[in-house]
């Protein structure tokens, strides 16, 4: 199933797949952005330009805007229909949406944010898109890539329940970490997230202590591109 075909049904299908967790897509999006904002706060970096690669219909945009209020957000996706929906919902002077061929400005962004994209990209093409992201990111900028963990039975079940995920190929985070390093992303930091469903939310405070173990439903890789320097707004 192409994302052009399911753009209007994307939110409904995703919500249906996630219902077993007891949380909606908004909760997960908020948590992912919070993880990244906390990391950047600890490193003292404040991005001026954020690229969301595989932005889809723009579900992360409100949370990126809240966490990084003074930045420009650039959404990139190969699905023209998804971009049409995203533009209707979110486009503004400092929120813009493009296809990859429309946005290819080397060293123009400070933060690359990716969620649930690489399992839809054939493994043989991962290098191509990592090279694209590395080219766009400024030296000293950060990349945060999230994807579903192949080691978590719940994540596998959720993907079987979502029509647009059924033909996806899950990404091995340990191999992918090595691939990122090959493209100049220094020492990617691997953590696993979303262990407990809402019914066990009382246990969520211990998730951070368990984040090094491949237990959570998603993994996150955060790394800085080799070099120094941050951009000015354009």
Q: Mind listing the pLDDT tens digit for each residue in 169-189? A: 999 999 999 999 999 999 999
The rounded distance, in Å, linking the Cα atoms of 228 and 110 is: 11
Q: Mind listing the pLDDT tens digit for each residue in 97-139? A: 999 999 999 999 999 999 999 999 999 999 999 999 999 999 9
> Which pLDDT score is estimated for 7?
58
> Which pLDDT score is estimated for 234?
39
Percent residues over pLDDT 90 in the chain = 80
Helix (H) / strand (E) containing 53: strand 49-53
Helix axes 10-18, 25-43, angle to 10 degrees: 90
Give the pLDDT band (50/70/90) at residue 231: very low
Q: What is the pTM of this model?
A: 0.93
């Amino acid at each position: 199933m192409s994302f052009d075909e399911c753009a209007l049904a994307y939110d409904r299908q995703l919500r249906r797949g996630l219902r077993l967790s007891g949380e909606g897509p908004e909760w997960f999006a908020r948590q992912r952005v919070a993880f990244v904002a906390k990391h950047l706060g600890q490193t003292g970096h404040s991005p001026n330009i954020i690229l969301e690669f595989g932005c889809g219909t723009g579900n992360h945009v409100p949370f990126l805007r809240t966490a990084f209020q003074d930045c420009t957000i650039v959404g990139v996706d190969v699905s023209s229909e998804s971009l049409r929906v995203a533009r209707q919902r979110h486009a503004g002077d400092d929120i813009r949406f493009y296809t990859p061929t429309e946005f290819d400005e080397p060293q123009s962004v400070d933060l690359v944010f990716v969620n649930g994209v690489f399992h839809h990209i054939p493994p043989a093409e991962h290098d191509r898109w990592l090279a694209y992201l590395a080219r766009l990111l400024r030296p000293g900028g950060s990349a945060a890539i999230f994807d579903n963990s192949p080691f978590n039975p719940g994540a596998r079940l959720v993907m079987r329940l979502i029509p647009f995920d059924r033909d996806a190929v899950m990404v091995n985070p340990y191999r992918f970490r090595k691939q990122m390093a090959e493209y100049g992303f220094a020492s990617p930091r691997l953590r696993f997230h979303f262990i407990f469903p809402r019914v066990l939310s009382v246990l969520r405070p211990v998730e951070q202590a368990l984040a090094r173990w491949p237990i959570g439903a998603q993994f996150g890789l955060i790394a800085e591109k080799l070099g120094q320097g941050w951009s000015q707004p354009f």
